[in-house]
Structure 1
Amino acid sequence: MIDHVSLQCDDLAASRRFYETLLGALDITVAMDFGDALGLAGPDGDPKLWLGKQTTGGTQREIHLAFTAPDRATVQTVHEAVTALGAEVLHAPREWPEYHPGYYAVFVRDPDGNNVEVVTHA
């Protein structure tokens, strides 16, 4: 349904480190680098997440992004990786039965204050 998402970042280098660490376990890497904009893609090479320098000024509002993980072990791997980066953990990995049985996720804060989730539905 979504073709791509683009985030404006106050510190593009910090955001790149965060998202490369967070998404590495999901086999998502930087596929295009224009210096002031980065396109991240999965194995198909088609960038779906773009990071760019903040250009519109002002305070941005929190965005929630959720990425699909294949299993609980991957959710745990992501949690450990971003914790090592010093990212704020909003909710440690756990099952969220109020969403549906098997909904297992971690929620963390990116360098720009966005709420980023990695979830498996298995």
Structure 2
Amino acid sequence: MDYPVFWIDRFHPHSVKQHTAFVAKSRAEVDAFYTAALRAGGTDHGAPGLRPTSAGYPSGYYAAFVLDPDGNNMEAVYRERQAQR
């Protein structure tokens, strides 16, 4: 793996909303994260799906985004094998 499994952005001030990303082992895990987060009170911020390379995402970037009750952006991402080579 050529990238961290868990990212923490230390450059934002504490009062600024954060973006936390978790690596999933499959698309199904991304989907399950999204469903569970919405049931737990999160707000949709990007349904599960492949993200476009035209928006700067690498090929095979499958992710879902949910805002937690404090407004932080929570992400689950699965990078397909062909994209990791």
Q: Shared topology, TM-score over 0.5?
A: yes
Gaps of 5+ in 1: 6-58
* 1:73-92 equivalent positions in 2, closer than 5 A: 73-92=28-47
* 1:2-13 equivalent positions in 2, closer than 5 A: 5=8
Which residue pairs with 1:97 in the alignment? 52
- Rg bigger for which structure? 1
Q: TM-score, normalised by structure 2?
A: 0.70
Which residue pairs with 1:110 in the alignment? 68
Which residue pairs with 2:11 in the alignment? none
Q: Would you say the 8 A contact 2:46–2:64 is kept in 1?
A: yes
Number of residue pairs aligned between Structure 1 and Structure 2: 69
Q: Provide the C-alpha distance between the structure 1 equivalents of 2:47 and 2:64, rounded to a whole number of angstroms.
A: 5
Q: Provide the C-alpha distance between the structure 1 equivalents of 2:6 and 2:37, rounded to a whole number of angstroms.
A: 26
Alignment counterpart, residue 18 of structure 2, candidates 40, 43, 63: 63
Q: Specify whether residues 73 and 97 from structure 1 end up closer, same or farther in structure 2 by C-alpha distance, changes over 3 A only.
A: same
Shift of 1:73: 0.4
* 1:13-24 equivalent positions in 2, closer than 5 A: none
4+ residue stretches of structure 1 with deviation over 4 A? 1-5
Q: Which has the higher contact order (CA 8 A, sep 6+)?
A: 2
Gaps of 5+ in 2: 9-13, 81-85
Q: Specify whether residues 60 and 71 from structure 1 end up closer, same or farther in structure 2 by C-alpha distance, changes over 3 A only.
A: same
Q: TM-score, normalised by structure 1?
A: 0.50
Q: Provide the C-alpha distance between the structure 2 equivalents of 1:101 and 1:86, rounded to a whole number of angstroms.
A: 31
- Per-residue displacement from partner, 1:79-117 (whole Å, max 9, x unpaired)? 111111231010000101321221000011112211111
